[in-house]
Amino acid sequence: MSDMQQTPDETRKTDRWLEPGPTNIQVIYILYLVGFVIGISALVGIVIAYMNRGKASGWLETHYTWAIRTFWIGVLFGFVSALLMVVGIGFLLMIAVAIWVVVRCVIGLQAVGRNEPIKNPQSWLI
């Protein structure tokens, strides 16, 4: 057997975090948080979330919905904050948006660590 072929019981280390499941959703939340330092990682996170939405079990599906909404609502709030920087209040709102994203990611990480669903994944708030 060549080095490139895998037996059925062998999987690459990346297969586990790319497949829908708790590890995958944790990676998405972490990518969102790293996005504050390396912006492109948040985009990678949203792509992974969309790739795996609809493929997970019931309670995990709430996390994919929560993660996708966190990204898009954060983008919306960030855009509004950027527009309002002209009048000065946007700087405070941008800080509030950053805190909001961090809190939602921490809530998600804690819930997935306990194998619990997000209670209201459609929420705009926390």
What tens digit of pLDDT does each residue of 9-21 get?
Answer: 444 555 566 677 7
Residue 82 CA to residue 5 CA, distance in Å, equals 50
Alpha-carbon distances, residue 108 vs 32, 60, 84, 122 (angstroms): 11, 10, 29, 13
Is residue 90 pLDDT above 80, yes or no? yes
Task: Provide the residue ranges of all domains of the chain, joining segments of one domain with +.
Answer: 20-112
Checking if the pLDDT of 37 tops 90, the result is yes
pLDDT for the residue numbered 13: 53
CA 59 to each of CA 3, 69, 87, 91: distance values in angstroms, whole numbers, following the listed order: 38, 16, 42, 36
Taken as a whole, the chain contains a residue count of 126
